[in-house]
Structure 1
Amino acid sequence: MRDSDRYLMPEGAKVVGRQDDVFEMRITIPSDEHGFFGRQCPSCTQIFRVDSSDYDALPDDLELWCVYCGHHTEHSEFLTQQQLDRAMRAVDDLGTQLIQEAINDAFRGLTRPRSRRRSGFSIEVSHRNKPFYPQPLPKINEEQLIRVRTCATCTLRYAVFGEHRFCPVCGLLPAEVVALDALAAETARLDGLAQLPAEVSASLREQGVFTRIWVDTLENLVGVVEAMTSKVFHSSVTDAATLVKGKGNIFQRLDDTADLFAATGHLDVRSVIDTPTWQRLQEAWATRHLFTHNDGLVDAKYLAKVPGSTAKTGQRLTITEAMCRQAITDTEALCRAIAALTAP
């Protein structure tokens, strides 16, 4: 009798081979209603999801990347805890039957003694071969995807549940993709604030929470552009490290960044972006610098950067949600323009 017929396994599990005492089982991992299933990083333990049809088409010796922390190892190491529990249930069912089989072999042909000595003792063994009924495998009930992402390089469809930097197959994502994702997160944060109940919103506004979040938005936009332009420049210019040495946080400064790219044979980004957009970016960057280094109090340096401002020295600037949303839109245009500078 074949092992696949010899051992009763629950639906979704099957014994497919045996070599000596080593059994090979195949256990299905059910996909969700969208055709995705989970992967869990063995390093940071966070879960992401991948499209099952895309995944099945990948090579058997595939190595996966954690989308969050970038841990890189053999794909079988990315089982989720629920998938592991499902597999262990099948292993337990097989183990139970193997133990039962071993007991049957041990007591086969054993008969009860007909007599016993007065000074000794006897042992009676009662063995009943009870039928085995496997229990259903546990279902998978993991976090469901919110939106599908598609890697522009390998076309793998996957879903994440937080800020990520890697494709499960390709590894590190392009700088432009990371930047645009970060900008989308800033918009989502502003959208979330707008959906707060009126009484909660009023209380937070009175305590200055909204203003602090708007300041943080501008701070984050500068950080997004700095990170992206640095990666783009270093990947496209051979002696990039030498050219930026001693120039401080050059990628935080818009004009200096534009000059740096232009000096290495790229187009001047200021000629790609329309003048009103560039002027708004200059104002947003100057405002961010003012709040970071001078608590928002206007100084001569700010007025030199924003000559059209009506604010006076010593006056504290005010920031609005509309200004932040416009700054996000303008920053997206800047990121796309910078990416295009080095596009093949």
Structure 2
Amino acid sequence: MCSTEHLRIKALQKSLPGSTVFVRSTLYGAPKDLSASNAYGAISHLQRALNPRHALLDAVAAFEEYLGCLLEIVLLDNPDLLKGDATTAEREEIKLVNWIVESADKSEILERIVEERIRALFYGNPVDVLTKPKSKLRIHGYFSDPQCKQHIDKFAEIVARRNLIAHNDGYVDRKYLREVTSTSFKLGKKIPNDSAYIKDAIGFLLCLAGKASELVLRNHYSSGVSGVLASRLKCCKSLPAI
């Protein structure tokens, strides 16, 4: 019996024709290779050694890293998607000029622009990466559909709870109440963070990542899903079909 907790997106490595599957990134310090498999290895480790305080923080971080990996693949394969969004503010122009002067070639300049774009997206509201066209992943049409509202609300609650644990020792604050309007938790109360919630959240994030991968394959590469990705997506029955 398949389980959403064991979803893997290894098929992505085989299904993006001509794409940069292993991408160089300096988003998290020293350059390293990011891929579907090593991003999901982090979550697999969380499932084996669950620590309620840290597991949710690491799971959300791994999910955001994976979406960042998808976005980096798309933008490096399709640099034209970067056109038309650049601000004309003087400080941004200065930053761009500095990058051009300091970079060895076009590919390095492009990598630095993509890095900045991804960082800016995740400094904002992570929900926007799924639901807004500015992410360039071409997945917003699906995730902004009313049939996905309950799933986006669930993702928003997971992110908001993660922020409570990271920044307020798990106590409900006004920011959480603004972002999760349907909650029954009261201001100043400690929010529960038990292993059942963590496992459900991890499984849900894996399903979101799988669906995002399917949409990227379809909308950017005109490719369907197959193999492991296709079989694992069958475990995610709660998400509407494309």
Give the TM-score of the pair, scaled to structure 2: 0.52
Contact 1:219-1:288 within 8 A present in 2 as well: yes
Give unpaired runs (5+ residues) of structure 2. Answer: 1-9, 25-33, 93-116, 223-242
Greater helix fraction, Structure 1 or Structure 2: 2
Q: How many Å apart are 1:302 and its aligned residue?
A: 0.8
Distance 1:312 1:328, change over 3 A: same
Q: How many Å apart are 1:285 and its aligned residue?
A: 0.8
Contact 1:287-1:296 within 8 A present in 2 as well: yes
Q: Which position in structure 1 is the counterpart of 2:22?
A: 173
Q: How many Å apart are 1:287 and its aligned residue?
A: 1.0
Distance 1:305 1:262, change over 3 A: same
Q: Once the two structures are superposed, what CA deviation does each residue of 1:284-328 show, in whole Å capped at 9, x if it has no partner?
A: 111112222322221122112212211111222221222222222
Following superposition of structure 1 onto structure 2, how do residues 226-237 of structure 1 map, counting pairs within 5 Å? 226-232=67-73, 234-235=75-76, 236=78
Identity of aligned residues (%): 16
Matched to 1:187, the amino acid is S
Distance 1:178 1:288, change over 3 A: same
**1:251 paired to 2:108:** no
Q: Which position in structure 1 is the counterpart of 2:208?
A: 334
Query: Greater shift after overlay, 251-260 or 313-322?
Result: 251-260
Q: Which position in structure 2 is the counterpart of 1:213?
A: 54
Q: Which position in structure 2 is the counterpart of 1:187?
A: 44
Q: Which position in structure 1 is the counterpart of 2:100?
A: none
Distance 1:220 1:228, change over 3 A: same
Distance 1:232 1:304, change over 3 A: farther
Distance 1:300 1:212, change over 3 A: same
Following superposition of structure 1 onto structure 2, how do residues 67-86 of structure 1 map, counting pairs within 5 Å? none
Contact 2:39-2:66 within 8 A present in 1 as well: no
Distance 1:275 1:244, change over 3 A: farther
Q: Which position in structure 1 is the counterpart of 2:148?
A: 274
Distance 1:181 1:326, change over 3 A: farther
Q: How many Å apart are 1:283 and its aligned residue?
A: 0.8
Matched to 1:343, the amino acid is Y
- Residues paired across the two proteins, number: 164
Q: How many Å apart are 1:228 and its aligned residue?
A: 2.8
Distance 1:326 1:224, change over 3 A: farther
Distance 1:296 1:192, change over 3 A: closer
Q: How many Å apart are 1:264 and its aligned residue?
A: 5.4
Following superposition of structure 1 onto structure 2, how do residues 1-344 of structure 1 map, counting pairs within 5 Å? 152=14, 172-173=21-22, 178-179=35-36, 181-193=38-50, 210-232=51-73, 234-235=75-76, 236=78, 238-240=80-82, 243=85, 249-251=120-122, 253-261=125-133, 266=138, 267-268=140-141, 269-271=143-145, 274-339=148-213, 340-341=215-216, 342-344=220-222
Contact 1:298-1:316 within 8 A present in 2 as well: yes
Give unpaired runs (5+ residues) of structure 1. Answer: 1-148, 155-169, 194-209
Matched to 1:191, the amino acid is R
Q: Once the two structures are superposed, what CA deviation does each residue of 1:197-229 show, in whole Å capped at 9, x if it has no partner?
A: xxxxxxxxxxxxx33232433442453245235
Q: How many Å apart are 1:238 and its aligned residue?
A: 1.9
Distance 1:257 1:223, change over 3 A: closer
Contact 1:180-1:332 within 8 A present in 2 as well: no
Greater strand fraction, Structure 1 or Structure 2: 1
Q: Which position in structure 1 is the counterpart of 2:95?
A: none
Give the TM-score of the pair, scaled to structure 1: 0.38
Contact 1:290-1:302 within 8 A present in 2 as well: yes
Which contiguous aligned blocks of 4+ residues in structure 1 show a shift greater than 6 angstroms? 244-248
- In 2, the alpha carbon distance for the partners of 1:251 and 1:220 equals 10
Helix, strand or coil for the counterpart of 1:258?
Answer: helix
Structure number with greater Rg is 1
Contact 2:165-2:171 within 8 A present in 1 as well: yes
RMSD (CA atoms): 3.9
